[in-house]
Amino acid sequence: MKGHEAIIRQFLANGIDHMFGNPGTVEQGFLDALEDVPEMHYILTLQESIAVLCADGYARARFNPALVQIHSSPGLGNAIGNLYQAFKGQSPLVVIGGDAGIQYQAMDAQMAADLVAMAEPVTKWSAMVQHPSSLLRMVRRAIKIACTPPCGPVYLCLPQDILDAEVSEEIFPAHIPSFDTRPSEDKLASLIPLITGAQNPVFLVGDGVAWTASAGLGNAESIGLAPLVQLAELVGAKVYEADGGETNFPENHPLYCGSTGHMFGAASLPLIQDADLVMVFGCYLMPEVFPHLGDIFAPGTSVVHVDSNPGNIAKNHRVDVSFVCRPMAFVEALLSQLSSALSTSYKLESDQRTQAVIQHSQSFAHSVIASYEPTPSRPSDQYDDKSIYMKSGFFIRMLADHIPDDYVIFDEALTNSPPISEFLPGLYPGQKMMTRGGSLGTGFPGAIGAKLAHPDKTVIGFSGDGGSMYTIQSLWTAARHGVAAKFVVCQNRSYRLLQANISQFWKERGISGRQFPTSFDLSYPQISFDTIAHSFGVAGERVWNPDQVVPAIERMLTHSGPYLINLVLEGDVHPELVGVHCGQ
């Protein structure tokens, strides 16, 4: 058997039966071999970044590895940005890339590059197969490394002359090491005084929770987050997401207080500085663009960090006690000791803390959601698609009223995400995914991957007009393969997040009286997303007033194929200035 076919059968041995890719000349041999191995389903995308993002959604929805095929140096270059976000989010992608051959490397030929070095900064492991005798060994190693916590993408270059050779290696599944270790009873016991002495405990959770919720990779829905929820309830702790991309705590739970944010340390600092006990599960501190550079904990605060990734522990800030293991294994072991150690008076104090958290979180959530107008503020006919536009709250609330309970959401709505969390909360790992790592364009291809993972569930991808245009050609892939994902563009005709960020920039520097940069304005020429969808073979429509919302949602949910709603929303835009200030 030639290497072209052997690698396909090696992936199948590990249960990997979908390949997301974009073909190139130096990959032609094993792409030709795919025709003889129908068990491997090739999902054709129109650019390598989309292949990576579809595979990312597929992996995250199943909590299993996904396979990506890319072209050589130009293809790897296209993929780099989204490999970075997969790397930041612990997504186990096995990326295979082509090369003309070992025999040509001395020639500095067309498309020659140091491919292994290009991929190294955004992968757990990057390598090139050097000899046919180790081809399958290297493929198995790639699968093992991608799937071993902390999970992450790997890159393996497969030169064409290596694949042309006969393979004598045996095909057998790659072995994934178990991380199902448990902390010692003595060390767990040392935590009891820290917990019972705390008056204001805070939990910080990250994607290490979801990716290791079960003892091995697989659908975490079967285990869920019940042990962590039980511990939070027992302690009466506020629970914050530390910029996670997965559902690491049920978003509808009264102790869930939202995210610490991904941008400014000044926003997260007040959330934890009054805590006297901080327990960190599966994340590093703090994952922000502009993190606080000083101490983030008050003097005397006890800090406990539990993670399968030792690199996260004490990476930037003080830690008093740590455990290298699956966070859920730690929680289960701690619960067995803690439940019997708590006094009646402690339980009363915990209940009082819980009620205080609930009152605060409900009040805060109500004030935030109200700004998105879940009920329209004026009659429908006043929304004229010219000067008066809806906000997103009503659409998302109506969608929640009509969508089946087994929904899966890929949320790249960014500035329109709060009402999604309120009305379409993630309840277990794999039900709701968000972008991470700063990449735009994840929402639509991520939804395609998630729908392929769960063909019987209703899968909806949200994006903005800025983000969706990064990967709009992913709609073609949905149409070609009959992937019945649904897509919503929250079209505020701007880079709204950048407007919010520069507002903070001005505030910190005492700057006032400025207009948003014209380069943040996407209003001219206005993009017609439903027209673009139609050109790719995807049904869609434009919605701009409340009377259109429910009929459009019903059409989208009952349509048998992919469907897009172009939801036109309020935006701070000035099309009359484009060309005056922007030099266009």
CATH (domain of 239): 3.40.50.1220
Question: DSSP of 32-95, one letter per residue?
Answer: HHHTT-TTSEEEE-SSHHHHHHHHHHHHHHHTS-EEEEE-SHHHHHHHHHHHHHHHHTT--EEE
77 and 121 share a domain? yes
Q: Which of 233-242, 259-268, 527-536 has the lowest mean pLDDT?
A: 259-268
User: Do 21 and 75 have their domain in common?
Assistant: yes
Rounded distance between C-alpha atoms, residue 198 and residue 181, angstroms? 27
Asked if pLDDT for residue 402 goes beyond 80, the answer is yes
Mean pLDDT of 449-474: 97
- pLDDT score for 53: 98
Q: Is residue 557 assigned to a domain?
A: yes
215 has a pLDDT exceeding 80:
no
If one counts the domains in the chain, the total is 3
**Rounded Cα distance, 307 and 195, in Å:** 19
pLDDT over threshold 50, residue 138: yes
Q: What is the pTM of this model?
A: 0.94
**In the chain, pLDDT over 90 holds for what percent of residues?**
78
In a domain, 385, yes or no: yes
pLDDT at res. 497: 83
Alpha helices in 403-464 (DSSP H): 417-423, 443-453
- Listed residues 322, 338, 360: the one ending a domain: 360
Q: What is the mean pLDDT of residues 417-426?
A: 94
For the segment 44-66, what is each residue's pLDDT rounded down to a tens digit?
999 999 999 999 999 999 999 99
Please return the burial class of 556, using the count of CB atoms within 10 Å of its CB with bins 0-12, 13-18 and 19+: buried
pLDDT at 486 over 90: yes
Beta partners for 97?
70, 157
One domain for residues 376 and 466? yes
Mean pLDDT over residues 165-189, rounded? 92
d(CA 154, CA 157): 10
Collapsing DSSP to helix, strand or coil, 236 comes out as coil
Report pLDDT for 221. Answer: 52
pLDDT at 111: 83
Together in a domain, 352 and 422? no
pLDDT for the residue numbered 359? 82
Cβ contact 496:528 at 8 Å: no
Q: What burial class does residue 52 get, using C-beta atoms within 10 Å of its C-beta: 0-12 exposed, 13-18 middle, 19+ buried?
A: buried
Task: Using the predicted structure, report yes or no on whether residue 435 has a pLDDT greater than 50.
Answer: yes
DSSP string for 308-344: S-GGGTTSSS--SEEEES-HHHHHHHHHHHHHHH--H
Q: Answer whether residue 374 shows pLDDT above 90.
A: yes
- Quick one: which H or E segment has residue 289? none
> Looking at the structure, do residues 231 and 317 belong to the same domain, yes or no?
yes
- Residue 439 and residue 509 in one domain: yes
Q: Which residue has the tokens 């709250």?
A: 393
Q: Rounded distance, CA 231 to CA 338, Å?
A: 9
In a domain, 211, yes or no: yes
Given a contact cutoff of 8 angstroms between Cβ atoms, the answer to whether 462 and 442 are in contact is no
Is residue 170 assigned to a domain? no
Final residue before a domain boundary, out of 360, 388, 422: 360
Q: How confident is the model at residue 418 (pLDDT cuts 50, 70, 90)?
A: very high
Rounded to a whole number, what is the distance in angstroms from the first to the last CA of the chain?
57
What is the arithmetic mean of pLDDT over 523-551? Answer: 96
Which residues lie below 8 Å from residue 530, measured CB to CB, with a gap of 6+? 540, 541, 542, 564, 565, 566
522 falls in which pLDDT band (50, 70, 90)? Answer: confident
Averaged pLDDT, 100-111: 85
Regarding whether 397 and 483 lie in a shared domain, the answer is yes
Residue 171 lies in a domain: no
Q: What is the pLDDT of residue 216?
A: 60
Q: Evaluate if residue 581 carries a pLDDT over 70.
A: no
pLDDT of residue 584: 46
**Does the structure show a pLDDT above 60 at 519?**
yes
pLDDT recorded at residue 68: 98
* Domain coverage including residue 262: 185-360
Whether residues 142 and 216 share a domain: the answer is no
**Residue 83 CA: distances (Å) to CA of 45, 129, 424:** 16, 20, 28
Task: Kindly report the length of the chain.
Answer: 584
Task: Specify whether 10 is located in the same domain as 150.
Answer: yes
* DSSP assignment string, 180-219: -----HHHHHTTHHHHHT-SSEEEEE-HHHHHTSSSSSS-
Do residues 101 and 133 both lie within one domain?
yes
The answer to whether residue 351 sits within a structural domain is yes
pLDDT at 380 over 70: yes
Give the confidence band of 287 by pLDDT, cuts at 50, 70, 90: confident
Mean pLDDT on 552-571? 97
Residue 583 lies in a domain: no
> Amino acid letter at 348?
L
Cα 36 off chain centre by: 34
CB of 428 closer than 8 Å to CB of 247: yes
CATH number at residue 407: 3.40.50.970
Do 115 and 262 lie in one domain? The reply is no
Do 142 and 287 sit in the same domain of this protein? no
pLDDT 10s digits, 217-251: 665 455 579 999 999 999 999 999 997 899 999 99
Q: Which conformational region is residue 583 in: left (phi greater than 0), alpha (psi within -120 to 50 degrees), or beta?
A: left
Residue 57 belongs to some domain of the structure: yes
**What tens digit of pLDDT does each residue of 362-373 get?**
766 777 788 899
Do 56 and 441 contact (CB within 8 A), yes or no?
A: no
| Domain limit, last residue, from 340, 360, 380 | 360
